[in-house]
Every structure is written in structure tokens, then in C-alpha cells.
Amino acid sequence: MSVILAIESSCDDTSVAICNNGKITANVIANQTIHQNYGGVIPELASRVHQQNIVPAVQQALINAKVTKQDINAVAFTRGPGLLGSLLVGVSFAKSFALALNIPLISVNHMHAHILAHFIDDPKPNFPFICLTVSGGHTQIVLVKDYFDMEIVGETLDDAAGEAFDKTAKLLALPYPGGPLIDKHAQHGNPLAFKFAEPQIADLNFSFSGFKTSILYFIRKQEKENPNFIAENLDDICASVQRSIVQILLNKLKKAAKQYGINEIAIAGGVSANSGLRNGLQQTADELGWKIYIPAFQYCTDNAGMIAIAGYQKYLKQDFVGQDVSPMARMEF
Ligand code: KG4
Ligand code: ZN
């Protein structure tokens, strides 16, 4: 029997979850809207808002899961990677909570947790599987051999896929985070209206910085001819950019599946909420006979449910850390 409280505070969402015997019974996410005023996450502000949100989020999670503090057997927390000031709030809270209740602490790597989110709901992938993890900070193709035996076989050399979405949105004067808004506009646009060249990067790696620049030049050129170009073509621009990003991601995923002879394929991270990627993955799966795994929306973007399920697997192995643990902005995979 185990009840695990999990804390996620690596970026701008404060999230608290409860895992009761392997089932997620609460997943509270307090979003920070303040960053919308600045077009990106302001680390200093994120830390302060985590401070304000963390205790109410814990209280709400306990209520949702119908447990009390005394029922908790261990505290799991995101140690990294992420914004140091944000991580410090979650790690300090987790340590104090564990100390007060005299229960063990479990350290979780945020990127492992995005992948382990696949073990929250059914159907669960079978090992080995390939996971494309696409978020605001990372773009990785990971060969997942076991819960904590994972190997990055491809990654971005510069910007992440989420950044490609967010930076394009900024060019289009859409508020932060722009990914979900591009997705929304794309649903009314023609994905073949405009063409953007696919970066030619060797192996299973990605590059999005040149792609982003090509969109910038394209928009500047079009605006010279028609100052209302963005307003008149917003849906088509979003649909075309989204299609290009999805193609780049899926082409590498196909290459990885072929290279490793694996047809169990998963996607994870904030960008896996993208409808174009979800549909494109389904189509590719139908063509190539893949078994695919896509997390529920609430477990795609940053959430403590994924930290709780990763924590549960570590709890089963009694894999605990001491009170001297500290957060890591960069953390080895
Ligand atoms: O995993 P996540 O919540 O945070 C990080 O660990 O980075 O990912 C956030 C990223 C942002 O770049 C956001 O724009 C993107 O995920 N995102 C989306 C969608 N929902 C979130 N991008 C495209 N389409 C979406 N529907
Ligand atoms: Zn994340």
C-alpha cells in the first residue's frame, strides 16, 4: 500500500498530484497567467507565484484524492531540469513536508516523468518503445528500455519544437504560450497554403532555429507586399507552420522506428497536445502498423501526475534520496 504526494514546479505551472497504489487520484495544476504580459516565462516571477500557489495546491490535491497528510507514505518532487528558482520552491517544500511527516523523499527527472506519464492510464506501452518527447525546452527521441533505462537517440541541436511554435506565434502577435493558439487557428486553415523547407539534419537530430528564421523572412517579405498579410492569412499561416513542424517530427520518428525495428511508438511533452501531431501520428500508425500511445491532455503539458507515477515506480524499488538533495537546472538524462 502506498500513497505518494508529488510536486512539479520546474517552469511556470505549480502542480501537485497524489498516486494511490499506482492510480493517480488527484492532479491539481495552478497555471501562471502573469507571464502572458511579457511574451514568455519570467523566472523571477515564476518562483514567486510558485510560493503563493504551492500550499493551496497541496491542500486541494489532498481534498481531491480524499486523503489526509497522515496517509502519505512518500513525497516525490521534480529535481530538474528546469528553472532553478522554480525548482527550489518545489524541492524546499517537498523536503520540509517529508521532514515534518518523517517520510522518505523521491527525486524525479522531469524528462523521464514526461515519458512515464504513459504508465498512468491504459493502454500502457510495452518495453522497448520509442518516445518522441516534445516540449517548450526539449525535443528528444528516446529509446525506452525500462522505467529508468532510457537512451536519447536524437535531439534538437538548438531550439525545441515548442519554441518553434511559441516563437512563430510571437511573430504573428499571438500571446504566450502560442503553441495552443497556433493549433486552434490551424484547425480553420489550409495546411498546404504556404511551404517551408524542412531542415536537413543528419541522424535522428533536429534543428528548428533556421526554420524559425525562414518563417520570419517569409512574413517580412509578404508584409512588404501586403501590410495586412498576417491578419488576412492567420489561419493558413498557422496551419502551414504546424504541418511543417509535424512533418519534421514525424519524419524523424519514422526513421527511428525503422532504425531500431520498433513499432511501439509514444509521444510526450506539451507539444504532444497538438492536434496536428496527434492526427499525423495516427495516420502514420495506420500506414506503418505502429501501436501508438498518446497521453491524456492533462498529462501532456507539465503536471505532477507524471511525477507521481515516476515516484511510484521508485517507491516500489525503495529508491529514496536524503535531505541534502538540491535541485538541478540541468540534469543528466
Ligand atoms: O511540457 P510543457 O508543458 O513544458 C515544458 O516542459 O517545456 O510544454 C510546453 C510547450 C510550450 O511550448 C507550448 O506552446 C507547447 O508545449 N504546447 C503546444 C500545444 N500545447 C502546448 N504546442 C502546440 N500545440 C499545442 N496544442
Ligand atoms: Zn515539461
Summarize pLDDT for 133-175 with one digit per residue, the tens: 999 999 999 999 999 999 999 999 999 999 999 999 999 999 9
Summarize pLDDT for 7-49 with one digit per residue, the tens: 999 998 999 999 999 999 999 999 888 888 777 888 889 999 9
Strand pairing class (74-80; 264-268): unpaired
Question: What sign has the CA pseudo-torsion 47, 160, 115, 319?
Answer: negative
Question: Taking CA 297 as the corner, what is the angle to CA 184 and CA 136, rounded to the nearest 5 degrees?
Answer: 70
| Residues 6+ positions from 307 with CB-CB distance below 8 Å | 6, 7, 8, 15, 17, 76, 77, 78, 108, 110, 113
Q: Which atom of ligand 1 is nearest to the CA of 269?
A: 1
Contact between residue 200 and residue 210 where contact means Cβ atoms under 8 Å apart: no
d(CA 311, CA 319): 9
Which run of H or of E encompasses 49?
Answer: helix 43-65
- Of 99-103, 174-178, 185-189, the range with the lowest mean pLDDT is 174-178
Per CATH, the homologous superfamily of domain 125-294 is ATPase, nucleotide binding domain (3.30.420.40)
Rounded to two decimals, the pTM is 0.95
- On whether 179 is known to bind a ligand per the annotation, the reply is yes
Which residues lie with the beta carbon below 6 Å from any ligand 1 atom?
11, 135-137, 162, 165-166, 177-180, 183, 269-271, 273-274, 301-302
Let me know how long the chain is.
333
- On whether 136 is known to bind a ligand per the annotation, the reply is yes
Summarize pLDDT for 46-98 with one digit per residue, the tens: 999 999 999 999 999 999 999 999 999 999 999 999 999 999 999 999 999 99
Domain boundaries, the chain: 3-115+300-316, 125-294
Contact between residue 183 and residue 274 where contact means Cβ atoms under 8 Å apart: yes
Q: Tell whether the model's pLDDT for residue 244 goes beyond 90.
A: yes
Residue among 271, 272, 298, 306 to mutate when testing ligand 1 (max atoms within 8 A of CB): 271
- On whether 149 is known to bind a ligand per the annotation, the reply is no
**Percent of residues, the chain, with pLDDT higher than 90:** 92
Ligand 2 (single-atom ion) residues, CB below 5 Å: 135, 302
Nearest to 64 by CA among 10, 20, 115, 113: 20
Strand pairing class (23-31; 129-134): unpaired
d(CA 22, CA 118): 12
d(CA 174, CA 245): 18
Q: Tell whether the model's pLDDT for residue 192 goes beyond 80.
A: yes
pLDDT value of residue 38? 78
- On whether 244 is known to bind a ligand per the annotation, the reply is no
Instruction: Please say whether the structural domain 3-115+300-316 has been given the CATH code 3.30.420.40.
Output: yes
